[in-house]
């Protein structure tokens, strides 16, 4: 599952209900200080984990007229089935657990006064409300059987031990379901329906928040959280095996307890009758991972630059990981100001890693930034610009030329200076590509293979980081204002099935618009260097 939308109500500056829509792969939240960018990421941390950031009494909006704080998440890319046990599966559609848009919407409600109570969890869905069938998820199996006999569906139920089949039979029998928007309280569900929600919960993405500023404490999450996130993903992936092992542990211990009880019964039957073996708590599977520093100095006691460097290289390692896990658990990486405490070169490396990571089907990236050089590399469709409205409330905007203009002016994203003196422009991905095409054209011209170099023709190669990002949008506007011709040369990224397919699609779109749009035949310009040169060096 991937998050499609966050809805905030009475949470900090969001009086609401305020929806924030996310781009499928990467969403960049841009705006001036104190307009509510970090609030979005922290609300998600509360929704998914309530660990790094926890709900407290001060999180309720000062303008709220009631005590309820609501954080809702809407998900798409839903599982095709939910396997309840080895013999039966069901779907979110069959259980009427989807909203009017056919998406899964989970609502967490906190009662906030001097203290915080909750959350209570609901599923907002289009649910049957007709008499006798409106509360089937709250009915025990015996109650469903009784209703089934009353409405004459008993013969149609293939396996009378499965509550979902009774619900489906009763809903199909009804002439009018009276579907209406309903908040289904998870706390009131009967045992099997709670098992359905447990399966939903297992399908939710792992959420990892990396904040820009935090006090350094022992076990600082900024130092260990990247790899702790990998632990959380592994637990989700192996959840079925963990539950099976847990069941075996419980059975083994209960077997010993019952044998002990039988022995007590031989001596004192009255005492034995008073004893009822059970687990007070379910076994807890915790795996806390950390990185020990040189000479025993904890990583969290090192400078913030070192901690963020660990974070940078975690994302680089993840981006380079082979796509071998077809059913890898989904993960949302939320990064606040990735530029913090990093050299500009490292900032660019991090953004490039995040862009690459966002192309992986199991990953979703959310980030905030103030740095023009980084924001300029972000895809135009990923931009969410926040500014305060006339009442001082956050106003989230996206998708229009006016919004992009506001974002670029707010951050000061400028076009490349070379455009102003050029006769035409060749858009390439990075600065190394500029070096490559300039040097290649000069050498080919000098050796007589082409009539002239790019430089002599007045054609300026401009690095834009990738066609379709904010930097490209700014440069393209200036190019059009100056009436210059332009073309695009992009890496093919052959060998990367996701990125290669995207690049081909972009080139096709531009070609259809009548532009010169080309892909390298090899993976990237570096692959055009003769291997003998590398061996000699």
The pLDDT-based confidence of 215 (bands split at 50, 70, 90) is very low
- For residue 279, the tally of other CB atoms under 10 A from its CB is 12
Whole-number mean pLDDT of the chain?
Answer: 83
Phi, psi at 412, each rounded to 5°: 75, 40
> Nearest to residue 1, comparing CAs of 453, 296, 433, 328?
328
* Residue 139 pLDDT > 90: yes
Distance CA 11, CA 368 (A): 19
Arithmetic mean of pLDDT, 488-494:
91
Residue range 502-519, pLDDT digits in tens: 889 989 998 998 989 999
Beta partners for 21? 5
Contact 446, 460 (CB under 8 A): no
Residue range 456-470, pLDDT digits in tens: 999 999 887 766 777
Instruction: Evaluate the CA torsion angle 191, 192, 193, 198 in order and state its sign.
Output: positive
The first and second tokens of residue 83, run together, are 């396997």
The pLDDT-based confidence of 115 (bands split at 50, 70, 90) is very high
Q: Which of 129-143, 149-163, 403-417, 504-518 has the lowest mean pLDDT?
A: 403-417
The pLDDT-based confidence of 216 (bands split at 50, 70, 90) is very low
Distance CA 328, CA 320 (A): 15
Distance CA 189, CA 193 (A): 6
- For residue 310, the tally of other CB atoms under 10 A from its CB is 17
More confident residue, 230 or 529: 529
State residue 526's pLDDT score: 87
State residue 217's pLDDT score: 42
* Element at 478 (helix H, strand E): helix 470-482
* Residue 307 pLDDT > 70: no
């Amino acid at each position: 599952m991937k998050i499609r939308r966050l809805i905030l109500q009475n949470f900090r500056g969001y009086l609401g209900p305020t929806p924030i829509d996310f781009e499928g792969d990467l969403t960049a939240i841009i705006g001036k200080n104190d307009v509510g960018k970090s609030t979005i990421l922290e609300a998600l941390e509360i929704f998914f984990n309530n660990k790094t950031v926890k709900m407290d009494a001060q999180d309720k909006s000062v303008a709220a007229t009631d005590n309820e704080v609501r954080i809702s998440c809407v998900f798409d890319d839903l599982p095709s089935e939910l396997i309840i046990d080895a013999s039966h599966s069901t779907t979110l559609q069959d259980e009427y657990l989807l909203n009017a848009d056919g998406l899964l919407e989970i609502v967490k409600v906190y009662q906030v006064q001097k203290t915080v109570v909750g959350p209570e969890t609901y599923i907002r869905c289009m649910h049957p409300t007709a008499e006798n069938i409106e509360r089937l998820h709250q009915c025990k199996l015996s109650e469903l059987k009784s209703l089934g006999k009353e409405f004459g569906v008993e013969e149609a139920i293939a396996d009378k031990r499965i509550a979902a089949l009774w619900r489906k039979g009763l809903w199909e029998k009804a002439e009018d379901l009276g579907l209406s928007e309903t908040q289904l309280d998870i706390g009131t569900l009967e045992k099997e329906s709670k098992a359905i929600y447990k399966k939903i919960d297992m399908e939710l993405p792992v959420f990892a928040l990396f904040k820009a500023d935090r006090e350094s404490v022992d076990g600082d999450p900024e130092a260990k959280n990247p790899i702790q996130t990998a632990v959380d993903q592994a637990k989700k992936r192996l959840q079925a095996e963990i539950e099976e092992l847990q069941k075996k542990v419980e059975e083994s211990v209960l077997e010993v307890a019952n044998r002990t009880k039988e022995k007590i019964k031989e001596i004192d039957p009255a005492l034995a009758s008073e004893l009822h073996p059970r687990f007070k708590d379910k076994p807890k599977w915790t795996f806390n991972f950390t990185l020990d520093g040189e000479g025993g100095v904890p990583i969290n006691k090192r400078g913030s630059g070192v901690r963020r460097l660990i974070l940078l290289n975690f994302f680089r390692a993840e981006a380079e990981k082979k796509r071998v896990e077809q059913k890898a658990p989904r993960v949302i990486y939320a990064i606040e100001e990735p530029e913090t405490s990093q050299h500009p070169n490292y900032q660019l490396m991090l953004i490039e890693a995040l862009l690459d990571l966002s192309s992986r089907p199991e990953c979703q990236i959310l980030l905030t930034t103030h740095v023009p050089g980084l924001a300029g590399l972000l895809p135009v469709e990923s931009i969410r610009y926040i500014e305060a409205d006339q009442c001082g409330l956050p106003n989230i905007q996206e998708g229009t030329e006016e919004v992009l203009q506001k974002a670029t002016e707010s951050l000061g994203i400028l076009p490349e200076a070379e455009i102003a003196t050029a006769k035409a422009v060749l858009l390439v991905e990075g600065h190394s590509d500029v070096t490559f095409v300039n040097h290649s054209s000069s050498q080919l011209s000098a050796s007589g293979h082409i009539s002239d170099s790019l430089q002599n023709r007045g054609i300026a190669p401009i690095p834009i980081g990738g066609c379709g990002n904010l930097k490209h949008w700014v440069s393209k506007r200036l190019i059009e204002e100056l009436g210059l011709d332009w073309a695009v040369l992009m890496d093919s990224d052959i060998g990367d099935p996701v990125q290669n397919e995207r690049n081909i699609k972009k080139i096709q779109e531009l070609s259809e618009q009548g532009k010169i749009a080309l892909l390298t035949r090899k993976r990237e310009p570096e692959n055009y260097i003769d291997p003998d040169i590398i061996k000699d060096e």
